[in-house]
Structure formats: C-alpha cells, structure tokens
Amino acid sequence: MDEANADLRTRLNAETGKLSWPELERHFARGAVINVDKSLDLIDVAVCVAEDNKANIEAWMKSDVVSHPSMDEVKDWVERQPDFWAVVVAPWVLVQEVAQDA
C-alpha cells in the first residue's frame, strides 16, 4: 500500500461513524445511500469509491455485495431501526449494518 492510499484509508477510517436509520433516511430519499455487505470491509469499499476503482466496484455490484438498498431492505430497517457504520465519499453515503451481538 502506498503512502497516499494509507493516508486516504486513515482519513476515511477517522470519518466513519455510527448512525441510526432515521439519520440516514434523508440520504436514502435523495438516492445517496450505498449498502455494503457485511462480508466486505467498509473502509476498503470507501477507498475504492474515492479512488474511482471501477473494476472492484462493478464486480461488487455484480455480486450484489455493494448496492443501493432495495425497498425490502428499507422496510426491514424501518421496522428494526438498526444502527449503521457510515462513511461519506461524496456524493455517496456508504453504510454497513452494525453486527448485533448474539
């Protein structure tokens, strides 16, 4: 990993925060929320988006592990009110549901 990539990763990690669904709802309404599957590292995805790494992003989208949330997902979030890890890579808000303790 080069220094610029490490700096970007550090900055994005520092800008990551926990948000509730009501805090994300307005971003969803403007089409800016991108859901990142729990199988991926949120910061890895954010770095690829920031660097416009189309190959990785397209592969993840094709595998449906990075996507705009479906209406079914949103209905589930409204019912359950989960928390999310979120990071902004303008104009997108990348989110990943916080794992619930068993």
Write the pLDDT tens digit of every residue in 21-39: 999 999 999 999 999 999 9
- pLDDT computed for residue 102 by the predictor: 43
Strand ranges of the sheet holding 33-36, from the earlier edge strand across to the other edge: 17-20, 83-89, 92-97, 33-36, 66-67
Is there a domain that residue 45 lies in?
yes
The token pair that represents 91 in the structure block: 């104009």
Is there a domain that residue 102 lies in?
no
| Amino acid (1-letter code) at residue 2 | D
Token pair 């890579």: residue: 89
- pLDDT computed for residue 4 by the predictor: 72
Provide the residue range defining the domain that includes 11.
3-97
Is there a domain that residue 60 lies in?
yes
- pLDDT computed for residue 77 by the predictor: 95
Question: Residue 93 pLDDT more than 60?
Answer: yes
**57 three-state secondary structure:** helix
* Cα–Cα dist 86/47, whole Å: 13
pTM: 0.91
Residue 102 or 73, more confident: 73
